[in-house]
Structure 1
């Protein structure tokens, strides 16, 4: 599966692409010297993905319209679709998401779905917080807070 490295302000992201859709984003542990791909020639979808991420991280857009392919249970997909509807600069609690998808008592399962999100940033699990504080983040330390602050000032 083709991968490209995108150097974001919250650390390098390894983006996996299949059939013109992003199927995964992993937090890299070592920075890449440049944006681009070592394994394949960048096509129009990869270039558009980079352009949209550039616009997002520079504060020039309020949404990411990057096509994704979600891989999970139907419940997880429902959670992730709900996350993608949270406006830039806003947050929701796990309970809010559970209620929105019609499963008000499933807030812990919502947390599990967030933890299994294979496409962070694009599927914005960082916008989901605990009732009393920022919790439940599997990305780089400090990235959730950075993303929330970035979105708040650019919304």
Structure 2
């Protein structure tokens, strides 16, 4: 594992790559459930040079795509990624990845899509553990009626991401 920290409109973002050249994490500062920094491996500088190993190359590509996303010229991040989680968590994260840019879904919608309509709380817990914020767009999940609800990176950041995408969101806020 290696990592780098890049600036963004949301504050510093820590990008973590595995040894196979896949993005394993994208974490915001003070994000809930953020692993200890020691687990991220050594820090590297991006952009990586032409001789970069696959892990450095994916960090450079992710940083470039994030810059385009925040500039409004990219709608999704498509770097190779491999988030670590349980089979249920990965199924939830896969469902999140299918939510189109500029749209939102409720926790209930995601549970129904998974064929587990009564698993709304488990879906919420899996969303909160998403290790690839922005890449796996958990900010596109809102509460019933469009209410802004929990976001591991903080509700202010969630609101900013939804505004960037011009996605609908309500005004009520609660923790998750």
How high is the TM-score relative to the length of structure 2? 0.77
What is the 5 A alignment of 1:29-108? 39-40=43-44, 42=48, 43-108=56-121
Q: Name 1:152's counterpart in structure 2.
A: 166
Q: Name 1:119's counterpart in structure 2.
A: 132
Partners of 1:124 and 1:67 lie apart in 2 by 15
Partners of 2:119 and 2:155 lie apart in 1 by 26
Superposed CA deviations along residues 9-37 of structure 1, whole A, max 9, x for unmatched, are: 011111111121111122225xxxxxxxx
Give the deviation of 1:141 after TM superposition: 4.5
Contact 1:11–1:140 (CA under 8 A) maintained in structure 2: no
Q: Name 1:138's counterpart in structure 2.
A: 152
Give the deviation of 1:45 after TM superposition: 2.0
Contact 1:126–1:144 (CA under 8 A) maintained in structure 2: yes
How high is the TM-score relative to the length of structure 1? 0.87
Query: How many equivalent residue pairs?
Result: 145
* Larger fraction in strand: 1
What is the 5 A alignment of 1:19-34? 19-28=20-29
Partners of 1:20 and 1:40 lie apart in 2 by 14
Structure 2: give runs of 5+ residues left out of the alignment. 31-41, 49-55, 168-176
Q: Name 1:9's counterpart in structure 2.
A: 9
Q: Which runs of 4+ in 1 moved over 4 A?
A: none
Contact 2:128–2:152 (CA under 8 A) maintained in structure 1: yes
1:126 counterpart SS class: helix
Contact 2:16–2:59 (CA under 8 A) maintained in structure 1: no
